[in-house]
Amino acid sequence: MSYLPINQHGLIGDLHTAALVGCDGRVVWLPWPRFDSPSLFAALLDAANGGDWLLAPAAITASEQEYDGETAIVRTRFTTATGQAELEDWMPPWDGDAPEHDLYRVLRCTAGTLAVHGRFAPRPDYARQPVALNADDNGLRFEAHELPFHLESSHPWQVHGDSATLHVNLQAGESIVCVLRSGPPGIPTDAATARERTARFWQEWIGRCTYAGPWQAAVRRSAITLKLLVYAPSGAIVAAPTTSLPEWIGGVRNWDYRYTWLRDASLTLLAFYQLGYHAEAYHFFAWLGAQAQRHGTPLRLMYGIGGELELAEQTLDHLDGYRESRPVRIGNGAFDQRQLDIYGPVVGAAYLYEQQGDLLTPAQWQTLHDEVNYVCDHWQEPDHGIWEIRGPMQQHTYSRLMCWVALDRGIRIADHEGWPYERERWHQVRAAIHADILAQAWHEEVQAFTMSYESAELDASLLTMALVGFLPPDDPRMVATVEQIDQQLGRGPLVYRYRTDDHLPGDEGAFLLCSFWMVEALARMGRLEEAEQRFRQLLDYASPHGLLAEEVDPADGTALGNYPQAFSHIGLVNSAFTLLRARHNQAAPISTNV
**Smallest Cα–Cα separation from 510: which of 467, 545, 553, 548?**
553
Q: Is the pLDDT assigned to residue 128 strictly greater than 80?
A: yes
Question: What is the distance between the alpha carbons of residues 548 and 30, in angstroms, rounded to a whole number?
Answer: 19
3, exposed or middle or buried, with CB in 10 Å at 0-12, 13-18, 19+? buried
**What percentage of the chain has pLDDT greater than the value 90?**
92
Write down the pLDDT at residue 356. Answer: 82
Q: Where are the domains of the chain?
A: 9-192+199-204, 208-583
Q: How many CA within 13 A on the CB side of residue 397?
A: 28
Q: Is the pLDDT assigned to residue 552 strictly greater than 90?
A: yes
Write down the pLDDT at residue 100. Answer: 76
Write down the pLDDT at residue 587. Answer: 62
Mean pLDDT of the chain: 95
Q: How confident is the model at residue 359 (pLDDT cuts 50, 70, 90)?
A: confident
Question: What is the distance between the alpha carbons of residues 360 and 412, in angstroms, rounded to a whole number?
Answer: 13
Instruction: Taking residues 423-445, report their average pLDDT.
Output: 98
Give me the amino acid identity at 158: Q
Task: Quickly list DSSP for 354-421.
Answer: HHTTS---HHHHHHHHHHHHHHHHHTTS-B-TTTT-SSS-B-BHHHHHHHHHHHHHHHHHHHHHT---
Q: Is the pLDDT assigned to residue 339 strictly greater than 70?
A: yes
Which residues does residue 452 pair with via DSSP β-bridges, in sequence order? Answer: 396
3 state DSSP class of 6:
coil
Instruction: Taking residues 84-105, report their average pLDDT.
Output: 89
Write down the pLDDT at residue 267. Answer: 96
Sign of CA dihedral 451, 457, 461, 462: positive
pLDDT tens digits for 495-528?
999 999 888 999 999 999 999 999 999 999 999 9
Helix, strand, coil share (%) of the chain residues, nearest 5 = 35, 25, 40
- b/e map 450-461, b = 16+ CB within 10 Å: bbbbebebbbbb
pLDDT tens digits for 455-503?
999 999 999 999 999 999 999 999 999 999 999 999 999 999 999 988 8
Write down the pLDDT at residue 167. Answer: 97
Write down the pLDDT at residue 60. Answer: 96
Sign of CA dihedral 361, 362, 363, 369: positive
Pairing of strands 175-182, 158-160: unpaired
Q: Is the pLDDT assigned to residue 127 strictly greater than 90?
A: yes
Write down the pLDDT at residue 95. Answer: 76
Residue of higher predicted confidence among 99 and 487: 487
> Which CATH number does 208-583 carry?
1.50.10.10
Instruction: Taking residues 438-465, report their average pLDDT.
Output: 97
CA separation (Å) from 289 to 243, 368, 377?
A: 27, 9, 21
Instruction: Taking residues 17-23, report their average pLDDT.
Output: 98
Question: What is the distance between the alpha carbons of residues 473 and 447, in angstroms, rounded to a whole number?
Answer: 16
- b/e map 340-363, b = 16+ CB within 10 Å: bbbbbbbbbbbbbbbeeeeebeee
Question: What is the distance between the alpha carbons of residues 425 and 438, in angstroms, rounded to a whole number?
Answer: 20
Q: Is the pLDDT assigned to residue 591 strictly greater than 90?
A: no
Write down the pLDDT at residue 188. Answer: 67
Give me the amino acid identity at 45: L
561 DSSP 8-state letter = S
CATH class of 9-192+199-204: mainly beta
Write down the pLDDT at residue 589. Answer: 58
